[in-house]
């Protein structure tokens, strides 16, 4: 059938799936996002062959960045081998033919869902976040027009009230992921649902960070060497999660850990959420 | 070649514009860093290669452009119209991108759109083509994308430029963003970049 339709296997898709006009539109939005760190730039999100909420925003940002010389890594909750990561990596291998890798150090572009790799990123890397909800105020400001005004005037008291309510009710700030940050001293932004363990990695990172929200049609960015402050109070400073355990596979004490149940009796173990980091520490050769 | 022929654009539109975009992204996310940018072969004078590459990479029917008097020649207008189909408009405030061939006669940064309080992205991006990106008065830059400070000494900017840039950065998050080019290099200057004299 395909030969009847004169389809050539090699050029069924545009390079990296999106058409050139869409890429140009997204590229203009990315440049604005870099110029105004933390500000959410609206863009014309396209229908992607993936349901909204599964990374269509990150997918479109990556598609607009990718070139033939790139090497792509895709992670989902730190892991290279989960469904979302595997399907997105295969998608780009299919529609662009770019090389892929699981090694953090080898990648030029890292698309991620909800983690930042443990290994420090470099100047030559770009990290692309899949972001379900880019608006940190959406938890309590449902109207876009109101949220936009709050951003315009930089009146972020309402977010501090939210944090204060946690402290008064629970004794601590109970947000363990998607912890709000102020970028470059101006815009309140959501770092995507990364654990707050990863927030310090965004502060003055050497790599450019781009955030794509497909359903919400927004792109924002944190350029390298940009001040990223996690909100806190003088008497309740921002802290990250601490683990009692270390990774049961590689013994790492500095990584973010996932808890796994081992049997019906409730035995548990902890392993690194970043599978590539764990594998490298165990000295295994990962697939590249 | 007869005078009527429009010179070609990128040889490989998909991959050349991708490569150019990544260089622009690098330039804008690391302000003050010179990034080499190869343009299409023989764009109509006085367009340099990087200036032409930026126009071809970013402009299209959804992206109105403004040309300064130096670039308002028939060959340049025809070239940009044919290759990008971007509306060429007379009001610099309505332009998404302003292409400036003679930076020395730049009317002033306030002529362009700084964006709106609720939509700072609705601003104009200026592409300034200069005789050289070194050898001019030196300034020190700081801000996002710069590890400590960066120094920059472009030649051919009007005397008021750095004072105007200081004012541009002072109204952050509003303001214009600039790409400085010569015949082979681009340097990014986003509105988040602050300037201090040496």
Contacting A residues, span 14-43, partner chain B, CB-CB under 8 Å: 14-15, 20-21, 23-25, 27-37, 39, 41-42
Pairing of strands B65-67, B97-100: parallel
Mean pLDDT, chain B, as a whole number? 95
Neighbours of A148 (CB within 10 A): 17
Mean pLDDT to the nearest integer, B15-44: 97
pLDDT at A288: 47
- Inside any domain, residue A14: yes
Active site residue A246: no
CA dihedral B9, B11, B12, B18 (to 10 degrees): -60
Judgement on whether residues A139 and A214 belong to the same structural domain of the protein: yes
Judgement on whether residues A247 and A156 belong to the same structural domain of the protein: no
Q: Which tokens is A245 given?
A: 């355990």
- Inside any domain, residue A1: no
How many structural domains comprise chain A?
2
Mean pLDDT to the nearest integer, B58-63: 97
Judgement on whether residues A213 and A264 belong to the same structural domain of the protein: no
- Inside any domain, residue A2: no
Judgement on whether residues A149 and A248 belong to the same structural domain of the protein: no
Judgement on whether residues A285 and A176 belong to the same structural domain of the protein: no
Interface test with B, best of A19, A27, A34 (most B CBs within 10 A): A34
Judgement on whether residues A22 and A86 belong to the same structural domain of the protein: yes
Segments forming the whole domain that contains residue A205: 9-230
pLDDT at B198: 52
Judgement on whether residues A272 and A174 belong to the same structural domain of the protein: no
Task: Check residues B61 and A284 and name the one with the higher pLDDT.
Answer: B61
Judgement on whether residues A269 and A211 belong to the same structural domain of the protein: no
SS3 (DSSP) at B145: coil
Judgement on whether residues A47 and A89 belong to the same structural domain of the protein: yes
Q: CATH code at A86?
A: 3.40.50.11310
The complex's ipTM works out to: 0.97
Cβ–Cβ below 8 Å for B191 and A65: no
User: Which residue among B18, B22, B146 places its CB closest to the CB of A225?
Assistant: B146
Q: Which CATH class is domain B13-132+157-193?
A: alpha beta
| Confidence band, pLDDT 50/70/90 cuts, at residue B3 | low
Neighbouring residues of A11: CB distance < 8 A, sequence distance ≥ 6: none
C-alpha distance from residue A129 to each of A22, A74, A144, A278 (Å): 19, 10, 22, 21
- Show residues of chain A in contact with B192, CB under 8 Å: 35-37, 184, 223
pLDDT tens digits, one per residue of B128-163: 999 999 999 999 999 999 999 999 999 999 999 999
Q: Can you give the length of chain A in residues? A: 288
Judgement on whether residues A110 and A30 belong to the same structural domain of the protein: yes
- Strands (E) in B116-159, as ranges, are 125-129, 139-142, 150-152
pLDDT at B107: 84
Mean pLDDT of successive 10-residue stretches along chain A, which has 288 residues: 51 88 98 98 95 93 97 96 95 95 97 97 97 95 96 96 96 95 98 97 98 97 98 95 92 94 93 95 68
| Confidence band, pLDDT 50/70/90 cuts, at residue B110 | very high
């Amino acid at each position: 059938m395909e030969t009847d339709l004169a389809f050539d296997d090699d050029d069924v898709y545009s390079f990296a799936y999106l058409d050139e006009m869409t890429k140009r539109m997204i590229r203009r939005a990315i440049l604005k996002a870099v110029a105004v760190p933390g500000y959410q730039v609206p863009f014309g999100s396209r229908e992607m062959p993936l349901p909204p909420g599964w990374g269509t925003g990150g997918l479109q940002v990556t598609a607009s960045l990718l070139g033939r010389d790139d090497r792509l890594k895709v992670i989902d909750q730190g892991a290279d081998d989960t469904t979302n990561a595997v399907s997105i990596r295969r998608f780009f291998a299919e529609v662009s033919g770019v090389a892929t890798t699981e090694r953090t150090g080898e990648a030029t572009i890292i698309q991620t869902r909800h983690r930042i790799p443990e290994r420090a990123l470099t100047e030559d890397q770009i990290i692309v976040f899949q972001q379900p909800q880019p608006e940190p105020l959406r938890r309590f400001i449902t109207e876009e027009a109101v949220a936009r005004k709050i951003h315009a005037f930089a009146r972020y008291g309402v977010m501090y009230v939210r944090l204060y309510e946690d402290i008064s009710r629970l004794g601590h700030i109970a947000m363990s992921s998607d912890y709000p940050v102020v970028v470059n001293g101006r815009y309140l932004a959501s770092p995507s649902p990364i654990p707050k363990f990863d927030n310090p990695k965004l502060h003055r990172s050497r790599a450019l960070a781009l955030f794509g929200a497909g359903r919400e049609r927004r792109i924002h960015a944190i350029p390298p060497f940009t001040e990223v402050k996690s909100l806190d109070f003088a008497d309740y400073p921002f802290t990250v999660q601490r683990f009692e355990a270390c990774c049961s596979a590689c013994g790492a004490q500095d990584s973010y850990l996932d808890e796994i149940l081992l049997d019906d009796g409730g035995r548990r173990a902890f392993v690194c959420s970043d599978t590539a980091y764990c594998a490298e520490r165990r000295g295994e050769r990962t697939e590249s | 070649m007869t005078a009527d022929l429009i010179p070609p654009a990128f040889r490989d539109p998909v991959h050349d514009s991708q490569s150019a975009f990544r260089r622009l992204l690098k330039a804008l996310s690391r302000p003050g860093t010179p990034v080499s940018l190869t343009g299409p072969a023989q764009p109509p004078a006085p367009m340099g290669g990087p200036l032409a590459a930026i126009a071809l990479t970013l402009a299209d029917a959804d992206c109105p452009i403004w040309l300064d008097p130096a670039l308002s020649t028939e060959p340049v207008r025809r070239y940009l119209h044919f290759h990008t189909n971007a509306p060429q408009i007379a009001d610099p405030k309505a332009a998404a991108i302003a292409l400036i061939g003679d930076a020395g006669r730049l009317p002033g940064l306030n002529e362009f759109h700084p964006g709106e309080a609720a939509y700072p992205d609705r601003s104009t991006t200026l592409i300034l083509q200069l005789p050289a990106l070194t050898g001019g008065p030196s300034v020190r830059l700081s801000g996002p994308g710069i590890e400590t400070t960066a120094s920059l000494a472009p030649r051919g900017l009007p005397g008021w430029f750095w004072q105007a840039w200081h004012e541009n950065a002072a109204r952050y998050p509003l303001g214009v963003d600039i790409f400085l080019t010569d015949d082979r290099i681009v340097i990014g200057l986003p509105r988040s970049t602050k300037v201090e004299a040496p």
